[in-house]
Structure 1
């Protein structure tokens, strides 16, 4: 398997994952206040949305790269 085929497959898989999940979230710990030995931390949940057009574009680009990977020079 050459690099073009692997890249095409990875782009298709990432595009499908972004299309089906729509995004992901993570928790970020931040220090709000520090008073001597006491420390106040705040947990914030951040949400990252993956645009639908980006997922579809990754699938399309992956298909093109995969098709070009099967061509013989």
Structure 2
């Protein structure tokens, strides 16, 4: 497989994953205070939304790159 085909497949898979999941979330730990052996930590839940147009664009660009990868050979 050429690099163009692999890139096209990766873009399509990432675009579909972003389209169906809509985003992802993660937990970030922060240390607020440290008083001797006592430590106060706070867990913040962060979320990242992936726009639908970006996911559809990634699938479309991936398809074009994949087709061009097959046409070169």
TM-score, normalized by length of structure 2?
0.96
Q: Which residue of 2 aligns with 1:19?
A: 19
What root-mean-square deviation, in Å, do the aligned CA atoms of Structure 1 and Structure 2 show?
0.9
Query: Helix, strand or coil: the match of 1:41?
Result: strand
Residues in 2 aligned to 1:36 and 1:17: alpha-carbon distance in whole angstroms: 45
Superposition map of 1:9-48 within 5 A: 9-48=9-48
Gaps of 5+ in 1: none
In structure 2, stretches of 5+ residues that fail to align are: none
- Size of the aligned set, in residue pairs, is 73
SS in 2 for 1:62: helix
How far the C-alpha of 1:37 sits from its partner, in A, is: 1.1
How far, CA to CA, are the matches of 1:68 and 1:53 in structure 2?
A: 22
Cross-structure match for 1:65: 65
Shift of 1:72: 3.0
Moved over 6 A (4+): none
State the Cα deviation string for residues 27-70 of structure 1 (Å, max 9, x = none).
Answer: 00000111111100001110000011110010000000001001
